Amino acid sequence: MMLDRLSPQAPDALLALIRLYAADPRSDKIDLGVGVYRTEEGDTPVFAAIKAAEQVLVDTQDSKSYLGPEGDMGFVHALMPYVFGSADPTMGGRISGMQTPGGTGAVRLALALAQRAGVKRVYMGVPSWPNHAQILADLGLELVTFQHARHDGTADLDAVLDIIDNAGPDEAVLLHGCCHNPTGIDYTAFDWDSIADAFAGSGAFPIIDAAYQGLGQGLEEDAAGLRTVLAKVPEAFIAYSCDKNFGQYRDRVGAFYILGQDQTALDTAFSNANALARACWSMPPDHGGAAVRIILRDPDLTAQWLAELDTMRTRMRQVRDALAAAGTAGRIDLTPLGLQNGLFAMLPVTKEEVATLREEHGIYMAASGRINIAGLTSANLPKFIAALAAVAQ
């Protein structure tokens, strides 16, 4: 039988954790697995600004007829001042975009288009979001890795510069724009300057995955690195996600932007991107992107969204400060977590210790040792630190 030729695949480890956690009957279990924001009460509510925009959508949307592979261009354009700066969001007409199903769709499209344009090899700092490698493997692109971080908990600038300096014209370098997933270790402003200079002097093609804007240091601050690169290079791809900073996870809201040398180059690139999208998902889901467009075109809703984003960022910063203030848990030094950004941090724990934390203490985290900072609250933090101290001796 044809289906007998398939071999079983392990479920995605990160997504499998969602089910494992749900099936655990312990009332004091702690979910530090998949990357969703949680409140101090442990909830992941729909943003009030999104609820209000959805109501506007229900009241005013007069058709659900097809839009096209590029999706809702009002949404795509409304985001641009936030990503690329309000002074010149198109960089003199050199940036355009299209809507994608989540940030994953944008990453997929960026890599597929790079491949269509002749890219054979992609360099990526590791550890990285596991799906990056899965998408590359599925496309048949060669992945070459380098170490993203040093042991002291800072980004390894020399490693990335060495890669960019030596990469050729059929090679791309995939970077995280901010809130590095899984380490939380971002490049500094100085690092980004050097990275931008390196790209400017090399044939390597920059692809920047920006999935967490606003969850690190602030909306503008989190975009500064990618803007520094774009200001110095002739071409680049940007994969953008609204799933986290608008809390739209399951509605799959993303955008793919291209920086090109001129309008002709952009038109040709997007004719290819549209063809790739059409052959893959045809058109992106509309609802979430339309809600974001409604928010960003309404000053009151925009202010509400920004306030909600501030609350999230402030809470995550407080959790990081509390972890750093704890100093150590067993052999684990928690102080670097106070300097990192976004939802994630990596703990130097073994797979066995991760399993013990789950089985004996009801604490769920990725086997890599990645924790979702937002899963910690003032109520469960003491238990987490005590369990970590007991397990990681």
Q: Of 15 and 189, which CB lies nearer to ligand LMR in the complex structure?
A: 15
Judged on CB neighbours under 10 Å (0-12, 13-18, 19+), 236 is buried
Q: Which of 30, 31, 32, 35 binds ligand LMR (CB under 6 A)?
A: 35
Of positions 99, 100, 115, 181, contacts ligand LMR by CB under 6 A: 181
Q: Applying CB under 6 A, does 368 fall inside the site for ligand LMR? A: no
Could you confirm whether 244 is annotated as catalytic? yes
Active site residue 209: yes
Residue nearest to ligand LMR (CB): 35
Please identify which residue in 21, 30, 32, 34 interacts with ligand LMR, judged by CB under 6 A.
Answer: 34
CB of residue 212 to ligand LMR, shortest distance in Å? 9
Least Å distance between CB 366 and ligand LMR?
Answer: 8
Q: Does the footprint of ligand LMR cover residue 248 (CB under 6 A)?
A: no
Cα dihedral sign for 45, 131, 112, 258? positive
In the complex with ligand LMR, the residue whose CB is nearer, 37 or 237, is 37
Other beta carbons within 10 Å of 128: 20
23, HSE (Cβ side, Cα atoms, 13 Å): 7
Closest of 76, 103, 99 to residue 89, by C-alpha: 76
Q: Is 129 in the site for ligand LMR (CB under 6 A)?
A: yes
Nearer to ligand LMR by C-beta: 34 or 238? 34
Q: Is 129 a catalytic residue?
A: yes
Q: Cα separation of 107 and 237, whole Å? A: 9
Out of 31, 209, 222, 243, pick the active-site residue: 209
Q: Is 45 helix (H, G, I), strand (E, B) or coil?
A: coil
Footprint of ligand LMR on 130-159 (CB under 6 A): 131
In the complex with ligand LMR, the residue whose CB is nearer, 34 or 163, is 34
| Dist CA 196 CA 315 (whole Å) | 32
Amino acid at 44: T
Q: How would you classify the pairing of strands 370-372 and 344-346? A: antiparallel
**Based on C-alpha coordinates, what's the Rg of the chain?**
21
Q: Applying CB under 6 A, what is the total number of residues that bind ligand LMR?
A: 6
Nearest-approach distance from CB 372 to ligand LMR, in angstroms: 7
Which is it for the CA torsion 173, 174, 176, 181, positive or negative?
Answer: negative
| Distance in Å, CB of 126 to ligand LMR, minimum | 14
Residue 90 or 131: the one with the smaller Cβ distance to ligand LMR is: 131
Question: What pairing do the DSSP bridges indicate for beta strands 253-259 and 328-329?
Answer: unpaired
Q: Shortest gap between Cβ of 181 and ligand LMR (angstroms)?
A: 5
121: number of CA atoms within 13 Å, CB side? 13
Those residues with Cβ within 8 angstroms of residue 117's Cβ, 6 or more apart along the chain or in another chain: 269, 272
Question: Contact, 44 vs 247, CB < 8 A?
Answer: yes
Rounded to a whole number of angstroms, the minimum distance from the CB of residue 82 to ligand LMR is: 20
Nearer to ligand LMR, 167 or 211 (CB): 211
Instruction: Tell me the one-letter amino acid at 186.
Output: D
Task: Determine, following the binding rule CB under 6 A, whether residue 199 of this chain makes contact with ligand LMR.
Answer: no
- Quote the CA–CA distance of 275 and 65 in Å, as a whole number: 20
Q: Is 245 in the site for ligand LMR (CB under 6 A)?
A: no
Catalytic residue among 31, 186, 244, 251: 244
**Active-site residues: which are they?**
129, 209, 244
Q: Which residues bind ligand LMR (CB under 6 A)?
A: 14, 34-35, 129, 131, 181
